[in-house]
Structure formats: C-alpha cells, structure tokens
Structure 1
Amino acid sequence: MVLSPCFSRQVSHSLGLSRAPLNMNHYANKKSVAESMLDVALLMANASQLKAVLEQGHKFTLYTSLITLISLSLCLQVLVGILLIFIVKWNLNDEQTHLRLNVLENITTGCIFIIVAINVFITAFGLLIKTQRQQKNP
C-alpha cells in the first residue's frame, strides 16, 4: 500500500514533523507546561508526605526537620508555578523581554535545583522514620 504525498504531509504535520521553521514560543510553552505538570506531581507527593508526617506526631526525633523541609519545598514549588505562568505569558520573539525571560528562567532553574535537593533530604529522613517505626514494632 502506497500513501499519497498529501496524506504523508498531513501526518507529518500533525506529528510535528513538518519542515516549517521552529516556533520558539510554541516550544517554550510546551516546555513550561511539562515543567508545570512535574511540579504538580511533586507538589502532590509532598502534600502526601506532609500528611504522613503529621499523622506520626511529635514522637519522632526528625519531626520538626521534616515539617520544615516539606513546607519549604511546597512554598518553593508554588513559587516555581507562579514563575512558569509569567514565563509562558511573555512573547519569546520580542527582544525586549529576553532579559526578563532569561532572569526568570534562571531563577526557576535555581528553585527547581533547591527543591530537588530538599526532597533528597526529605526522602532520607523519611526512611529514617520508617526504620525507627519498624524497630519499635517488630
């Protein structure tokens, strides 16, 4: 079966495989939406962790540390979400916004790096709490 060239072009275009020039705004918006989805997933995971730590109560030694780290991570995630909204709103093709967009992208990247580092500690402390719980309840 041989496909017509017209059909082939339609399929290529619908899959984003056309040879038209890259629309930077479209690309940047897709990238920001993907970052936002990952941010929402991490936000939900941190909210779940916060609930689990609050249910454990003050009896664990790392309770305050975990509450602080999870709260800081949640606040930074909200900040990143707000920054991503501003990044998507500005036109990438407008050269007057390039400096602002670059600064916002750098701040967003830095915040995401800090969020990842904080979540490494949250996971490590969470494992310590699970270990303590297992030792107390054999």
Structure 2
Amino acid sequence: MTGTKVDPEQKTLAKGLLDIGLLMANASQLKSLISLGPDAEYYYPNMVLICLSIALQVMTGVMLLVLGSMDGNNLEKRSTANRLNNVVVGFVFAITVINVFVGAFGIKRTGN
C-alpha cells in the first residue's frame, strides 16, 4: 500500500488556518461576553480564560514565526529549535485545555 506524502508547507498552512479559526472563535466569545457584561454567569472566569487563551495564541504564533525562520544547520541552533518547539507544544496543550474550560463554562446571561 502506497501512501501519499503531504508537503510540509501544506501542513503549516492548514495549522495556521486552524489557529486563525480558534483565534476568531475566542475573539467572538470575548465580544459576546463583553456585550453581556458582568451580569453573565461565570463572567470573570470566562474573561480570564478567553484573554489567557488569546495571549497564548499570539505568543505561540510569534514563537512559530521564530521557529520557522531558524536555520537548523548547526547543532546549537537545532538544540534551541527543539527547546522552542517543546515550549510551543506545551502552549498548544495549554490553549486546548483552556478552551475546553471556556466551552464547559459557556457564555450565557443569568436570571431576568
């Protein structure tokens, strides 16, 4: 059975589009939360989690740009790139966990 190889640039583009989609979803959630105001159920936990998720996404994007521009010809740069890649993986995990909690808390108005 022969498999088709995926171009690394296609993977990067697909990952970037997913990142943009998540960033847009977080921005939309933040807008909804702000429009509901502090009367919304779990307003402050959601506000903190959404802002933290957006901040981590921006930092991850910057680190991916740095990682993509690194030249891995020498061993020292390769080691630095591996460490940076591990940090990026940790950030992506944290973003995922944070967004699970944002989804679990939900954004809805309380009472009246």
TM-score bracket for the superposition, by shorter chain length: 0.7 to 0.9
Instruction: Tell me what 2:46 maps to.
Output: 66
Q: Using the alignment, how far apart are the partners of 1:31 and 1:101 within structure 2? A: 18
Q: Give % identity.
A: 39
Query: What is the total number of aligned residue pairs between the two structures?
Result: 109
1:84 maps to: 64
Of residues 73, 83, 89 in structure 2, which corresponds to 1:103?
83
Residue 94 (structure 1) shift: 4.0
Alpha-carbon distance in structure 2 between the residues aligned to 1:101 and 1:31:
18
Matches within 5 A, 1:40-51: 40-51=20-31
Q: Please tell me the residue identity of whatever aligns with 1:89.
A: S
Match of 1:117 in 2: 97
Equivalent residue, structure 1, for 2:36 = 56
- Taking structure 1 as the reference length, the TM-score comes to 0.69
TM-score by length of structure 2 reads: 0.83
SS in 1 for 2:82: helix
| Structure 2 counterpart of 1:38, from 6, 15, 18 | 18
Provide the rounded CA distance (Å) in 2 between the counterparts of 1:75 and 1:96.
Answer: 29
Letter in 2 for 1:58: P
- Contact 1:69–1:122, Cα closer than 8 Å, also in 2: yes
Gaps of 5+ in 1: 1-14, 18-25
Unaligned runs of 5+ in 2: none
How far is the alpha carbon of 1:41 from its aligned partner?
A: 1.0
Give the superposed CA RMSD.
2.3
